[in-house]
Structure 1
């Protein structure tokens, strides 16, 4: 019987890494008519009209009592309009990032979208958030609990190794659990729900496994990727469309006069598991 060799990838999502063909990675593909007709994006910004390239004042804001009394606002260039919309985009993000060490992330990611032309994004705060989430998830469905239980049940304790043929048990265990995602209640306010929320692709690797007597120590590596972008299903939902934040985002990304590129958000975390043969399942 062959023992498992390390490092060993024990889980991969069906969604692949670096999938630039994903629906939420499209940009600059929709016309003014489509944005208005199909997605009802008429009232986008309170500061600038992306369609007429004019500043918005109290006199040309539809909800204002002064609307129409002084005609259209000051004309601006497309670049000036985009800059105004990005400033508004950042200001509107405050609602979704009220506290926590991760609060600054959303503004940095918006600026990255504005200036980095689709380059991947990585930040130590994202990696800290991922590691904290993995370690502090004490539910029975956490991936660490699932891996831990699978190791206890499938280690060959007599010969002090884990058999290659039983690698499938680790994958099945992870598949039955819940991958780390930022969809908890606190993520609505701590900045992680708006920056990541769900995730696109996850790879989990068992980097090492040391067995001694009736105990083991394993090192597990998580490689997680998300997309900072919106697809048409997102903006079609009332939950998204009701917020000006998402309307501005969608127009900056998808309007063919702007076409700012979404990007890959990359996170990784390495954690250690220690357990024993006679330990009860979580």
Structure 2
């Protein structure tokens, strides 16, 4: 009964869009998955969409990597100099990693399923420099923890909603003990540019 109510109340946080059903899938996974990791092509799609639509020049890791390629590609030797590889780390570390804490995520289902992320691994899979163009393939691997802890439920933002109280009881009450799990997402994007 609690899981049915948990799923029903989740609809308050996932009103529209292609990801609105994800929270119900994740609740069912919590009920039957025995803490195994959760994957979904919808999560992968949401991550890729988030990365590609983030046009904030000061925060977007995609745009910051693009700027590093533009600035440091050695056009004469058609490569990226090894001596400048720390510029990638700086570009990523000074940007904002993908998180689902935007306003629309409060209603499209991503804020309740993922919201913040726990770990992000960004890999430049390839870089090709030809004539006056470059093409980079960049892979994002993101993990989140689907669970509530005592700090979470202690916040008014969470404990005012029956949804979060049910979640906490199902996960933490020793007679239930439904285990939290890791949520895994991946996206591969292409970054292209021309010599300036």
Per the shorter chain, which TM-score range?
Answer: over 0.9
Give the drift of 1:215. Answer: 1.4
Give the drift of 1:271. Answer: 0.5
Give the drift of 1:237. Answer: 0.3
- For 2:185, what is the secondary structure of its paired residue? strand
1:88 match: 5
Give the drift of 1:261. Answer: 0.5
2:176 match: 258
State the TM-score, normalizing by the size of structure 1: 0.68
Give the counterpart of 1:127 among 44, 52, 58.
44
Larger relative helix fraction:
2
Unaligned stretches of 5+ residues in structure 1: 1-83
Give the counterpart of 1:136 among 34, 41, 53.
53
CA distance in 2, matches of 1:167, 1:244: 49
Q: Deviations over 1:64-113 (max 9, x none)?
A: xxxxxxxxxxxxxxxxxxxx111110011010000101011000000000
Give the drift of 1:214. Answer: 1.9
1:160 match: 78
1:214 match: 132
- For 1:260, what is the secondary structure of its paired residue? coil
Aligned residues: 195
Q: Which moved more, 1:149-158 or 1:197-206?
A: 149-158
2:35 match: 118
Q: Deviations over 1:123-163 (max 9, x none)?
A: 01101101111111111121110000011111111111112
Describe how 1:152-231 pairs up with structure 2 within 5 A.
Answer: 152-231=70-149
CA distance in 2, matches of 1:195, 1:152: 36
1:19 match: none
Unaligned stretches of 5+ residues in structure 2: none
- For 2:139, what is the secondary structure of its paired residue? strand
Q: Deviations over 1:49-74 (max 9, x none)?
A: xxxxxxxxxxxxxxxxxxxxxxxxxx
- For 2:83, what is the secondary structure of its paired residue? helix
State the TM-score, normalizing by the size of structure 2: 0.98
2:34 is aligned with 1:147 = no
Describe how 1:228-247 pairs up with structure 2 within 5 A.
Answer: 228-247=146-165
Give the drift of 1:165. Answer: 2.3
CA distance in 2, matches of 1:221, 1:147: 12
Give the drift of 1:228. Answer: 0.4
- For 1:128, what is the secondary structure of its paired residue? helix
Query: What is the alpha-carbon root mean square deviation over aligned residues?
Result: 0.7
Task: Tell me which stretches of 4 or more aligned residues in structure 1 moved more than 3 Å.
Answer: none
